[in-house]
Structure 1
């Protein structure tokens, strides 16, 4: 599911509570503490997304393991920061791949230019042989 689809507000609080196995009041408390931020409908009804449900499931797992809400807040913050760093890293990796491709293309153009005579009398076989490292055709 795309990130946009995961963030689409779909579930009313009763459905979100059922999906997560939590009481609706617990969801309200978590919202008041800033642990989850459901969107609101025009009529001010809380609407939870799939991302919200997954976050609530993680909160439930962490609290079941004995971590208090302050610890949960810290873990969620670290998780979000790590995900942001990973997105930044992926973006930088893609930029590096593009730069490497451009550098390779420039090197190839330089090799081709160096093999082609200035007067335009280049023998295509000689140019190709030079690009392939001098092997025979």
Structure 2
């Protein structure tokens, strides 16, 4: 779901005139910001700038920061730190999911060990043991 939201935010939608209106900036300011690498709008086949919702949000943040008196060098630094923090958050989320998967695997292996320790093989195969546990285990506290 989060991936789809990211895709939606990065979809190029708005021509420069619309982006300028949405952000309250002059189109020339948007061109300067692109030139300085603060924003990278997509391009149509005809080479028209197309700004995504993510670009609009980024431009609004740039506007807020500059309104607070931060120069463009500071804005670049803040945006870089913000992007790095967001990447780290994504990595942390990915690692947490992996830890949960591994915890589930460990739990399953421990359960199999317990079942194996309780089962008497007596020459039976694993399928027979499982059938025996399922049918006889009800009265044995398993």
TM over 0.5: yes
**Deviation at residue 2 of structure 1 after TM alignment:** 1.3
Equivalent residue runs for 1:52-63 within 5 Å: 52-63=55-66
Q: Stretches of 4+ moved more than 3 A in 1?
A: 120-123
| Offset at residue 46 of structure 1 (A) | 0.6
Out of 83, 88, 93, the residue aligned to residue 91 of structure 2 is: 88
Which protein has the bigger helix share?
2
In 1, the alpha carbon distance for the partners of 2:76 and 2:20 equals: 20
Query: Residue 40 of structure 2 is aligned with which of 28, 33, 37?
Result: 37
> Is 1:27–2:30 an aligned residue pair?
yes
Partner of 2:11: 8
Give the CA deviation at 1:126.
4.9
Alpha-carbon RMSD across the aligned residues, in angstroms, is 1.4
Q: Which runs of 5+ in 2 are unaligned?
A: 125-131
Matching residue within 116, 119, 127 for 1:116: 119
Q: 1:125: how far off?
A: 3.2
Task: Identify which of 74, 79, 92 aligns with 2:77.
Answer: 74
Q: What TM-score, normalized to structure 1?
A: 0.89
Alignment partner of 1:47: what SS?
strand
Q: Which residue pairs with 2:128 in the alignment? A: none
